[in-house]
Chains A and B, each alone.
Chain A
């Protein structure tokens, strides 16, 4: 190992020139590796090695006949993948349905959470009496442990004893007979609403953090130009939140697409097709059907999809950034 401990202070690693770089630290080049070691070991143990094992599992027949001696499970090449993507079989159809449901779910949850978070952050941008109360209140859904929140929603969505039907049927008379929210087609609406309830405060939090760093003068200047509040939002707020947006959209997309806990706690074992989110689907395909090979193949496909989306997203946003620069 050569001693190349130049002093960086930028997050991105590919630019060198710095005004008057301080003298590079030459002694003890092993030091960064040493303090990195705990993180490295843990990442290897908990994330990387299991991941590689999971990848390997997707190429073997890991049904109940083999899990006992899983190291000797027969190699089947791409068979698990062809089962997973063959939409002429129930397995492939189920996966496709689940993928489409998840896609719609993700777009709605991310989109609406973004909108609500932005609206709340802008509404609370000016200081007024009681602002702190709203700020605190809006963060509660995010701070609540997930299962506590989802269990509460499960109770609210009960057909005969829930508050949702009480309001819709008994109080507002919007509907004649009490609908089901946890089975059948409406299960999709339910899982979307519950996920939004949990997710939008995070968008709000991030926007709030971002808004604090926008200098007041920018608004003053644009107000002098006679810009309406909407125009100000478009010309000042939105561009200044660019960096926040880039991170936020990606992070929310990955979280929401991979969401397992919400459908798991909300629906239990009685999973409705309309709320069959992909992580939940793969869990059932693996553990209920004892087919970990196919389950792993599905997970790898999911990972590949997320990877491609992420890379394309980063590519586009970075190019845009360069163009703007």
Chain B
């Protein structure tokens, strides 16, 4: 009874207020109302948010000197970035320029919250042809204008501890089978040393390996008409192969099921608790920060099984840069993106952020080890495939990634995951996608 009276009194007022507010929705794309300043949300690429700030500040100051446009920078951790971008898109208020994980490129394009980069905008950025084609392709659905351009390129590699390999008389593995054999050889549970370390509790890492292993098996995650397809044999076997590193091969410490970000496996590697890790090429700094010398580790392409249908060794990873559709400094934002993807800025930032160049004639600067640099460049340009360029890609990441978290958790706590379980979990993930 009292409840009804409550609604009667509060309802109309509230409704009226909502309507009033609703009327102030946001309007057309980009304006130039505030030409003197920009807000930039950068993703966390370096050792810490504070580090990133220190690295970016001089680069931004130079831009201000050149153009007179002040850039206010905020570095946002990966945990918060997606929510922050969502609220910014919904409300039309937020930064002018933002970094996004390139796998979200199409999903975020679909929101309409990012400025479409048509011919005119592309010209302002110096032309489409500057960028590595495959990297630029992550900026939008096939056949559409992109809404983000590549900023930093990244690729997976298999890092291994050279001393451990030498001591055991092992060669760096060229196939998945070799990798497992070496891992078994190097696993010494009593000493707390394991063949491999995985970020098995991180859905953002796990979903990448669902994809890479599936591609190695010749399978795709989407049908020709861009619908999700997670349950083909290739995908199921690929996921199971990855899970089996912990389950049947027993070369991964079950504790890794709690590793909820990649850094934890890197730390385990650097501390000599694991002989190998699969990580993107920005691991060097973290490994060295944990006290490992550069000559004590090396990186090779993440190997595929002997009978693999594809030699895919990584997804096409990296960071894209986008302009918000609601920006009040459209021209300034374009200038800024052009500047950040210029040769100079790329060279300057490539090293501290361990980024691969996204420009066609760019040279990698992230390491002095030319062998390693060439290897990653080769993986990035020849053996990397983009994650599905479809609007539901972000949902793939969470649903499949979480499913793999759960399966790893089950394995770690003594459960058994059969092929049928994997298929069922992937079916559930597929059904949960509202495309």
Contacts and interface: CB of A to CB of B under 8 A. Distances in A.
- In the complex, A touching B, CB below 8 Å? yes
Contacts of B48: none
Interface in A152-180: 158-160, 179-180
Nearest to B16: A49
B258 A180 contact: yes
A29 B213 CA distance: 75
B431 A90 contact: yes
A63 interface: yes
A270 B201 contact: yes
Nearest to A311: B3
Contacts of B406: 272-273
Interface in A264-279: 268-273
A290 to B, nearest CB: 7
A67 B90 contact: yes
Contacts of B255: 159-160
- Taking chain B's interface residues, is the majority helix, strand, or loop, or is none over half, making it mixed? helix
Interface stretch (A30-38, A183-191, A217-225, A248-256): A183-191
Contacts of A186: 413
A136 to B, nearest CB: 35
A289 B90 contact: no
Nearest to A185: B413
Interface stretch (B17-25, B35-43, B355-363, B367-375): B17-25
B410 interface: yes
Contacts of A287: 82-83, 86
Interface stretch (A20-28, A68-76, A192-200): A68-76
B112 A270 contact: no
A246 interface: no
A183 B11 contact: no
Interface string B165-200: 000000000000000000000000000000000000
B17 A49 contact: yes
Interface in A13-69: 44, 48-49, 51-53, 56, 63-65, 67-69
A159 to B, nearest CB: 5
Interface residues of B, number: 52
Contacts of A64: 107-108, 110-111, 391, 394
B381 interface: no
A89 interface: yes
A289 B415 CA distance: 28
A90 B413 contact: no
Nearest to A314: B2
B17 A183 contact: no
Contacts of B257: 180, 183
Contacts of B145: none
A271 B402 CA distance: 8
A69 B25 contact: yes
Contacts of B432: 89-91, 94, 289
A166 to B, nearest CB: 14
A272 B409 contact: yes
Interface residues of A, number: 45
Interface in B83-136: 83, 86, 89-90, 92, 107-108, 110-113
A242 B79 CA distance: 45
A186 B258 CA distance: 13
Contacts of B26: 68-69
Nearest to B17: A49
Interface string B407-422: 0011011010000000
B398 interface: yes
B434 A289 contact: yes
A284 B83 CA distance: 10
B18 A52 contact: yes
A183 B201 contact: yes
B412 A307 contact: no
A288 interface: yes
A52 B15 contact: yes
Interface in B379-435: 391, 394-395, 398, 402, 405-406, 409-410, 412-413, 415, 428-429, 431-432, 434
B409 A184 contact: yes
B156 to A, nearest CB: 20
Contacts of B83: 287
Contact of B14 (A44, A68, A70): A44
A89 B431 contact: yes
Contacts of A70: 25, 90
Nearest to A65: B110
B409 A49 contact: no
Contacts of B297: none
Contacts of A69: 25-26, 112
A67 B89 contact: yes
A182 interface: yes
Nearest to A89: B431
A43 B404 CA distance: 43
Given A287-B86, A291-B434, A159 B258 contact: yes
A70 B391 CA distance: 18
B344 to A, nearest CB: 34
A53 B3 CA distance: 18
Interface of B: 3, 10-11, 13-15, 17-18, 21-23, 25-26, 79, 82-83, 86, 89-90, 92, 107-108, 110-113, 201-203, 254-255, 257-258, 260, 325, 391, 394-395, 398, 402, 405-406, 409-410, 412-413, 415, 428-429, 431-432, 434
Interface of A: 44, 48-49, 51-53, 56, 63-65, 67-72, 89-91, 94, 158-160, 179-180, 182-186, 268-273, 284, 287-291, 294, 307, 311
Given A56-B18, A289-B432, 15 more contacts: A44-B13, A48-B13, A52-B14, A64-B111, A68-B26, A68-B111, A71-B22, A91-B432, A180-B257, A180-B409, A268-B79, A268-B260, A271-B402, A287-B83, A289-B395
15 contacts: A49-B18, A51-B14, A64-B108, A65-B111, A65-B391, A68-B112, A68-B325, A71-B25, A159-B258, A180-B409, A183-B405, A184-B415, A290-B107, A290-B395, A311-B3
